[in-house]
Structure 1
Amino acid sequence: MEFTTLWFILIVVLWVGFFVLEGFDLGVGMLHGLLSRDEAGRRAVLHTIGPVWDGNEVWLVTAGAAMFAAFPGWYATLFSGFYLALVLLLAGLIVRGIAVEYRDRVDGVRWRRTWSILLTAGSLTVPLVLGIALGDLLHGVPIGRDQEYEGTFADLFTGYGVFTGITLTVLCLLHGATFLALKTSGEVRERAHRLARRSVLPVGLVVLAFVFWTRSLVERGILVNVVELAAVLAVAAAAWAISSSHDGWAFSATTLAMAATVASLFTELYPRVMVSSSNSAFDLTVQNTASGPYALKVITVVALVLLPVVLVYQGWTYHVFRKRISADGFLTPGQPTAPSAARPEL
C-alpha cells in the first residue's frame, strides 16, 4: 500500500473517531436541557461527559494535524477557503467548552440558564459546520488550476453540504440520547430512552435520504456501496435495540451509524480529497497534494508509535468512568427527588 493511501485511511479513521466519540458529547450538550426536570438532573447529564469531552476533541486536532503533515496542499486549500467556517467552528468549540466548565461555577438560575443556552448553541454549531465542510469536499466548491479556492463564503452553503450538516447533527442527537440511556439511571434514563425511540425513525429517514443523495453525486455502477448500506442498517438496528430496551446494543448501533455515515463521504471521495466544481481537472487528489516520500515515512513511524498509546489511554479512561450516573447524587439537602421537582428551565 502506498503511503498516500495509508495516510488517507488514517485521516478517515481520525475523522470517524472524532464524530463517534465527540458525537455523543455534542448530543448530550444539545439535549441536556430537555432530558432533565431539575438542576440535579441537568448536572447528572453533563457529568456523564465531564471526564471525557475534552479528550474527545483531541481527535479533531489530530485529524487537522495529520492533513497538514501528509497532504499540505489539501490542508492549505481547505483551511484558507473555509476560513470563516473554521472561525464559526472554533467559536462553537470554545463556547461549548467554556459552558461545560463555567455553568456550575455560580449558584444562580440566570447564570446557569445563560450557560445552558450557550452550551446548546455551541454543541449544535460544531456538527452542523463540520458536516457542511465535509459535504462540500464531495459536492465540490470553486477551485482553480493553482489549487486555490475561488469562491465566497456563500458558495460553501451548497444544498448537499447543508444536508450533510443536518444529517450529522441529527445523528449526534440520537447518539447522545442512546449514550445517556446507557450512562444514567432513573428518570433521566427514561426520558433519554423515550427521546431515542421517538427520534430514531426520522433520523433513519434523513440518513436514507443522505445515502441516495450521495449516490447521485458519484458516477459508479453500483447502486449503493457497503459503507452506506451499513449506515442504513445500523440505524435500523438502533431502532430495534431501542424498542427492546437494550441500551448497550442501541449505543453500539448509533456508533456504527455515525462511523459509516462519515466514512461513506471519504470512500466516495477517494482518490480525490477535494472536488472542484469549476473543472474536474482541478480536483485535489492524494497524489497532487501529498508530502514527499521521506516525510510520509517519518510521520508514519511516529504514528505507529504514538497512536496505540493514545488508544490505550482513552480506552482506560472510559473503563474508569463506566458506571451509570444518577441525578440523586446531585440533589442539594432538602431538595425533592425528580418526580416532584420543578419543570425544566429551558
Structure 2
Amino acid sequence: MHLHDVWFVLIAVLWIGYFFLEGFDFGVGILTKALARDERERRVLINTIGPVWDGNEVWLLTAGGATFAAFPEWYATLFSGFYLALLIILVCLIIRGVAFEYRGKRDDAQWKRNWDHAIFWCSLLPAFLWGVAFGNIVHGTKIDAHFEYVGNFWDLLNAYSILGGVVTLTLFTFHGAVFTALKTNGEIRERARALALKVGVVTALAALAFLIWTQVNHGDNWSFAAMVVAALALVGAIGMNQLGREGWAFILSGITVVAAVAMLFLSLYPDVMPSSLNPAWSLTVSNASASSYTLGIMTWVAGIMTPVVLVYQGWTYWVFRRRIGVQNMPA
C-alpha cells in the first residue's frame, strides 16, 4: 500500500470521527428548539455538549489540514469549487461557538432568544450542507482537464446531494436525541427518547434510499458491507432506544454514522473527486497527492500525536460522563 492510500484512509477516519462527534453535537443544537420547554431545560441541553463541542471541531480542522498537506490538488479543487457552501458552514460554526459562550452573559430574555436562534440555525445548516457536499464529492462534479471546478453553486444542488443533506440532517438529529436521552434525566430524557423514535423512522427511510442509490451507482462489495452494517445499526439503535438502553442506542447510532460515512469513502476510492465531465479528468489518490517525502513526515507526526489527542479527548468525555437535569440548573 502506498502512502497516498494510507493518507486517504486516515483522512476518511478523521471525517468519520468528526461526523460521529459533531453529529450528536449538531443534533443537540437542533433539538434546543424541539425538546426544551423553558430556559432551564434549554440550559440542560446546551450543558450536555458544553464541555466537548469545541473539542469535536478539532477533528474538522485536522481533516482540513491533512487534506491540504496530503492532497493539495484535492484541497484546491474542493475549496474553490465548494467555496460558498463551505463559507456558509464556516460562518455558522463561528456564530454557533460565539452563541454558546455569549448567551449567558446577560440576564435578558431577548438576548438569550437571539443566541438560541443562532444555535438552532447554525446547527441545522451545517448538518444539511455537509451531506450536500459529500453527496457531490461521491456523485461527481464538473471538473475539467486542468482539475478545476467549472460548475456553479446551483450545480451542487442536485437530487442526489439534496437527499444526502436530508440524510445527514435527520441522522445527526437522531444521534443528538439519543445522546440527550443518555446524558439527561427526568422529563427531558423521556421526551428525547420519544422524539428519537420519530426522527429515527424518518432517518431510516431517507438513509435507505440514499445508501441504495450510492451502492447502485458507485458501490462495490466493501461498500455494500458497510451499507448493511449502517442499516442494521440504525434499526438496532431505534430498538435499544425504545427499550430504554440509551448507552447501547448511542453506540449503535454512532456505528450508523461511522458505517455510512465509511461507505461513502469506499464508494469514492481510488478517486477523491470524480469528474462528471470526463472520468479521465477525475482527481485520484495518486494524481492529487503530495510528494512521498511530505507524506512520510506527516505519517511520523500523526503516529506520535494522534494517540495523545485521542487519550486526552477520551479523558474529557469520561470526566463529564454524568447525567444532568433541571435540578442541576440554578433557578
If the length of structure 1 is used for normalisation, what is the TM-score?
0.93
How far residue 223 of structure 1 moved from its aligned partner, in angstroms, is: 10
Kept in 1, the 8 Å contact 2:24–2:173? The answer is yes
Kept in 2, the 8 Å contact 1:207–1:231? The answer is no
Q: Counterpart of 1:199 in structure 2: which amino acid?
A: V
Q: Counterpart of 1:87 in structure 2: which amino acid?
A: L
2:188 aligned with 1:205: no
1:145 matched residue in structure 2: 145
Q: Residues 99-118 of structure 1: matches in 2 within 5 Å? A: 99-118=99-118
Kept in 2, the 8 Å contact 1:82–1:153? The answer is yes
- The one-character-per-residue Cα deviations of 1:294-315 (angstroms, maximum 9, x if unpaired) are 1111100000001000000000
How far residue 54 of structure 1 moved from its aligned partner, in angstroms, is: 0.4
Q: Counterparts of 1:219 and 1:269 in 2: how far apart (Å)?
A: 8
Gaps of 5+ in 1: 333-346
Which of the pair has more CA radius of gyration? 1
2:261 aligned with 1:262: yes
Q: Counterparts of 1:122 and 1:181 in 2: how far apart (Å)?
A: 22
1:127 matched residue in structure 2: 127
1:78 matched residue in structure 2: 78
- The one-character-per-residue Cα deviations of 1:261-284 (angstroms, maximum 9, x if unpaired) are 111111000000001011111111
Q: Residues 169-184 of structure 1: matches in 2 within 5 Å? A: 169-184=169-184
How far residue 198 of structure 1 moved from its aligned partner, in angstroms, is: 2.0
Q: Counterparts of 2:35 and 2:201 in 1: how far apart (Å)?
A: 19
1:328 matched residue in structure 2: 327
1:337 matched residue in structure 2: none
- C-alpha change, 1:223 and 1:49, in structure 2 (3 Å) is closer
Q: Any runs of at least 4 consecutive aligned residues in structure 1 with deviations exceeding 3 A, and if so which?
A: none
Q: Secondary structure at the match of 1:273?
A: strand
Gaps of 5+ in 2: none
Q: Counterparts of 1:292 and 1:189 in 2: how far apart (Å)?
A: 51
Q: Secondary structure at the match of 2:272?
A: strand
Q: Counterparts of 1:205 and 1:131 in 2: how far apart (Å)?
A: 16
Q: Counterparts of 1:323 and 1:66 in 2: how far apart (Å)?
A: 34
How far residue 72 of structure 1 moved from its aligned partner, in angstroms, is: 0.5
If the length of structure 2 is used for normalisation, what is the TM-score?
0.98
Identity of aligned residues (%): 48
Kept in 2, the 8 Å contact 1:77–1:149? The answer is yes
**Pairwise CA RMSD of aligned residues?**
1.2
How far residue 224 of structure 1 moved from its aligned partner, in angstroms, is: 6.3
Q: Counterparts of 2:22 and 2:229 in 1: how far apart (Å)?
A: 20
How far residue 219 of structure 1 moved from its aligned partner, in angstroms, is: 6.5
Q: Secondary structure at the match of 1:32?
A: helix
Q: Secondary structure at the match of 1:225?
A: helix
Q: Counterparts of 2:99 and 2:158 in 1: how far apart (Å)?
A: 31
How far residue 216 of structure 1 moved from its aligned partner, in angstroms, is: 2.7
Q: Counterparts of 1:118 and 1:242 in 2: how far apart (Å)?
A: 29
- The one-character-per-residue Cα deviations of 1:97-140 (angstroms, maximum 9, x if unpaired) are 11111111111111111111111000011121111111111111
